[in-house]
Amino acid sequence: MKALVTGAAGFIGSNLAEALIRRGDTVVGLDNLSTGRLENLKGLEGKPNFEFVRGDIQDEAEVLRLCAGVDVIFHEAALPSVPRSIANPRETYENNTGGTISLLLAAKQTGVKRFLFASSSSIYGNADVQPVHEGVAPCPISPYGASKAASEVYGLSFAAPYGFTFIALRYFNVFGPRQDPKSEYAAVVPKFITALNNGGRPVIYGTGLQTRDFTYVGNVVAANLIAADKPDVPSGSYNVAAGHPHTVKELLETLCEISGKPYQPKFEAARSGDILKSAADISKARAGLGYSPTIDLRAGLERTYAGTVGVS
């Protein structure tokens, strides 16, 4: 299989590219390095079945060139972060939704057969139904969530008339190695780990009782590989999560146990656009894809924390 991985130098994209290379697929990795880092691809340097291209998904000519001969697109590139989208909604729209449309047009013109899109649990907003299933109507409360929901609609509208399969994998709070702790918009796990390692007090926004379905990146990679390989999967959307929600306080407590650091959070006001409860019903992915998460929260946190302190 020949694959195009967008956002290949990013957190999820680099883990996915590595898994594809490891099993012998040919991979073209595309990233503009606005949030991705070349150091994430160090293990792939010199591999005969890997090519990295520094470029932008909004560059339609470049995207069209790179899609030639590709069997599957793994579209992981995006401007992340709910707070960032609230501060810069147009930038989020142009990169996330506009970039997706560029790729969809290229897939249409080059005959790509399968398009896997990294969607997000943020499209559900503060859903009344918990755990949330794919039948719940999207109701995003941030421009980031809206950009993902719009991209799903565009993808499904392209799939039927243009003859390719579009699969949206709705990720729930992914964490793991290579997640950038230095970004202004870093996710909660690397922020907590950095604070603990530096002797600081991790910041919890709000009460800490908000729930999240924290999902180790290895489970997300597995879901992508299954969705790429399974021949009879129809176009549609699938929740990708651990299937077990935890509060933010529980997350920090577990990290403190793993690290041997004291539990001394600093509480600050809740942030605009933050969802209160987020838990995933993954029964559709289990039945339709054969997806089954194998790495739970504690095991994933142990692997992630070990990587930050230089131990195996």
- CATH 3.20.20.80 at 2-175+216-241+281-294, yes or no: no
Residue 57, token pair as written in the block? 């998904």
Helix locations, the chain, DSSP H: 11-22, 60-67, 82-87, 89-92, 99-110, 143-162, 188-197, 217-229, 248-259, 283-289, 297-308
Task: Give me the DSSP letters along 263-288.
Answer: ---EEEPPPTT--S---B--HHHHHH
Is 177:300 a contact under the CB 8 Å cutoff?
no
Task: Indicate the average pLDDT of the chain.
Answer: 95
Give the side-chain half-sphere CA count within 13 A for 262. Answer: 5
37-44 LR contacts (CB < 8 Å, sep 24+): 37/9, 37/10, 37/178, 37/180, 38/9, 40/9, 40/10, 40/11, 40/14, 40/178, 41/8, 41/9, 41/14, 41/17, 43/18, 44/17, 44/18
Q: 98 forms bridges with which residues in the sheet?
A: none
Q: Which is more confidently placed, 224 or 81?
A: 224
CA distances from residue 136 to 129, 144, 246 in whole angstroms, order as listed: 8, 18, 21
Return d(Cα 14, Cα 177) in angstroms, integer. Answer: 10
Q: Is 6 helix (H, G, I), strand (E, B) or coil?
A: strand
Stretch 35-55: mean pLDDT: 95
Beta-bridge partners for 53: 30
Q: What is the pLDDT of residues 84-115, one digit of tens each?
A: 999 999 999 999 999 999 999 999 999 999 99
Mean pLDDT calculated for residue range 276-283: 95
Name the token pair of 251.
């997350």
In this structure, the strands spanning 2-6 and 72-75 are parallel
CB 243 within 8 A of CB 214: no
Selecting among 144, 154, 291, 305, the annotated active-site residue is: 144
pLDDT digits (tens, 9 = 90+) for 258-273: 999 999 999 999 998 8
> Is residue 278 within 8 Å of 245, Cβ to Cβ?
yes
pTM for the model stands at: 0.94
* pLDDT number for residue 144: 96
Q: What is the pLDDT of residue 307?
A: 82
Whether residue 16 is predicted with pLDDT greater than 60 in this model: the reply is yes
pLDDT in tens, 223-248: 999 999 999 999 999 999 999 999 99
pLDDT score for 186: 78
Helices (H) and strands (E) in the chain, counts: 11, 13
Is the pLDDT assigned to residue 209 strictly greater than 80? yes
Q: What is the pLDDT of residue 265?
A: 97
What's at 223, amino acid-wise? A
CA angle 272, 122, 200 (to 5 degrees): 55
- Count of alpha carbons within 13 Å of 235, Cβ hemisphere only? 18
Catalytic site residue 162?
Answer: no
pLDDT digits (tens, 9 = 90+) for 108-163: 999 999 999 999 999 999 999 999 999 999 999 999 999 999 999 999 999 999 99
